[in-house]
């Protein structure tokens, strides 16, 4: 490993002490420099051109390629602030970043939700997936929950450590609170303070939670991902006409534009305007 990468990893630990961001940066940079086979000081923008071509041939999506390029840019930014000798960044945004597709988020239907939850009988799993569905939590946020994060004085709520080291409060509707209480009363006493633990008494990992959901999907015959629970929460709130700024805070988004795309809000407004116009047209037809 190049010494600069080791320094960068130490810097990331200080910048993101509790985030999985470090893992992605480390992986992205390891892949690039393994391919380039040259030190950071020798990389030029033509190398980045070739690397993008290499990634496209491997079938990687523009989203994945852009993430790797962002990791590379952050690395060279780090070098520029810690080195006395200026090292130009070989990633040129207007030249290298690919246009990203904007697919609509996929939520789950109410029928799919009903079928899936009919197959979930373990109180731990009911609570986990209820928090994602009824509070919009990310799977990583469920993974990070500790017993101290459950706030029962006043309205039931959770302290959430979210993406980008951003903390927020998530309020629990009665079904989610009841499911969580049912699990906490039956949760075995263990040294690990995680809310959701495995049969061995350890904090459930993100991949562990995803695997559990996959098994329920296989047994129920429906396919739902953890993130689709979050999309479904957004769709429900949008249909209930919750203000976009309120939903933004509940989601933990930095920009309302992200929330707007996430929840199909524009589509809902478009649908209402369309049906209003159609009714008007039909009333005036001979």
Are 183 and 126 contacting, i.e. CB atoms less than 8 angstroms apart?
yes
Active site residue 230: yes
- The one catalytic residue among 24, 159, 203, 227: 227
151: left (phi over 0), alpha (psi -120 to 50) or beta: beta
Among candidates 134, 147, 143, 164, which has minimal Cα distance to 229? 134
Q: Identify the active-site residue in 124, 253, 261, 264.
A: 253
Sign of the CA dihedral 233, 238, 240, 242?
Answer: positive
Residue 227 bears catalytic tag: yes
**For 161-193, b where at least 16 C-beta lie within 10 A, e where not — what string?**
bbbeeeeeebebeeebbebbbebeeebeeeeee
Residue 139: closest CA among 191, 193, 205? 205
C-alpha 277/C-alpha 274 separation (Å) is 5
Q: Is 38 a catalytic residue?
A: no
Which residue out of 24, 67, 163, 187 is catalytically annotated? 163
Cβ contact 63:55 at 8 Å: no
Are the CB atoms for 203 and 77 separated by under 8 Å?
no
Catalytic status, residue 138? yes
Angle between the 206-220 and 123-135 helix axes, to the nearest 10 degrees? 100
Which among 144, 161, 262, 264 is annotated as catalytic?
A: 262
The residue from 144, 230, 231, 261 that is catalytic is 230
Structure tokens at 14: 């200080």
Task: Identify the active-site residue in 68, 124, 138, 143.
Answer: 138
> 101, 62 in Cβ contact below 8 A?
yes
Q: How many CB atoms lie within 10 A of CB 29?
A: 22
Active-site amino acid positions: 138, 163, 227, 230, 253, 262
């Amino acid at each position: 490993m190049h010494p600069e990468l080791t320094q960068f990893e130490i810097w990331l630990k200080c910048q993101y002490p509790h985030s999985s961001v470090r893992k992605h940066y480390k992986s992205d940079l390891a892949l690039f420099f393994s391919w380039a086979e040259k030190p950071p000081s020798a990389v030029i923008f033509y190398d980045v051109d070739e690397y993008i071509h290499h990634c496209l041939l491997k079938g990687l999506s523009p989203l994945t390629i852009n993430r790797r390029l962002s990791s590379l840019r952050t690395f060279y930014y780090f070098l520029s602030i810690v080195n006395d000798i200026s090292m130009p960044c070989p990633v040129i945004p207007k030249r290298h970043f690919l246009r990203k597709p904007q697919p609509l988020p996929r939520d789950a239907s109410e029928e799919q939700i009903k079928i899936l939850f009919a197959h979930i009988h373990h109180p731990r799993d009911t609570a986990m997936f209820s928090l994602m569905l009824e509070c919009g939590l990310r799977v990583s946020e469920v993974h990070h929950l500790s017993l101290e994060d459950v706030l029962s004085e006043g309205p039931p709520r959770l302290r959430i450590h979210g993406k980008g080291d951003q903390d927020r409060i998530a309020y629990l509707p009665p079904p989610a609170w009841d499911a969580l209480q049912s699990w906490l009363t039956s949760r075995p006493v263990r040294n690990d303070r995680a809310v959701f633990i495995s049969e061995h008494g350890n904090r459930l990992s993100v991949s562990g939670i995803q695997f559990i959901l996959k098994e329920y999907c296989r047994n129920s015959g429906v396919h739902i991902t953890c993130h689709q629970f979050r999309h479904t929460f957004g769709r429900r709130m949008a249909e209930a006409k919750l203000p976009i700024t309120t939903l933004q805070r509940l989601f933990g988004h930095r920009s309302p534009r992200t929330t707007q795309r996430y929840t199909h809000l524009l589509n809902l407004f478009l649908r209402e305007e369309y049906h209003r116009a159609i009714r008007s047209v039909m009333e005036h037809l001979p």
